[in-house]
Each structure stands twice: as C-alpha cells, then as structure tokens.
Amino acid sequence: MNQHHKPRAAAKTWLKAHPTMLEAWLAGVGSRDGQDGLTVASDTLAAQKQLTNPS
C-alpha cells in the first residue's frame, strides 16, 4: 500500500485484491437504515467503479 498512492485509492485497490477481508470486517454490521453492511459497501464500491470507468 505504500506506493505513493492516495489513501482512498490504495484502500480500494487493496480491498479489490482481498474481498474476503471486507466480508470479515463487515460480518454482522448494518447500515444506519438497517441494511446489511456488506451489501451497502459492495453496492457503493460498484457504483463508484461505474462512475470512474463507465462502459
């Protein structure tokens, strides 16, 4: 992660390479409105990917 990348970009890259870690971190976590935390995080990351890399 220490390759002179911005922290947010480095975190996204790392999480893409280690998706099971995100699953473990968010196991049992919910969003403020009661949704599954992993689903919300995964949907948010996918939406951000679409914004930065539209097909």
The predicted structure's pLDDT at residue 44: 85
The predicted structure's pLDDT at residue 51: 67
Phi, psi for 52 (deg, rounded to 5): -90, -25
Model pTM? 0.64
Single-letter amino acid code for the residue at 44: T
The predicted structure's pLDDT at residue 2: 58
Residue-wise pLDDT tens digits, 1-55? 556 889 988 888 888 888 899 899 999 999 999 999 999 988 888 887 766 676 6
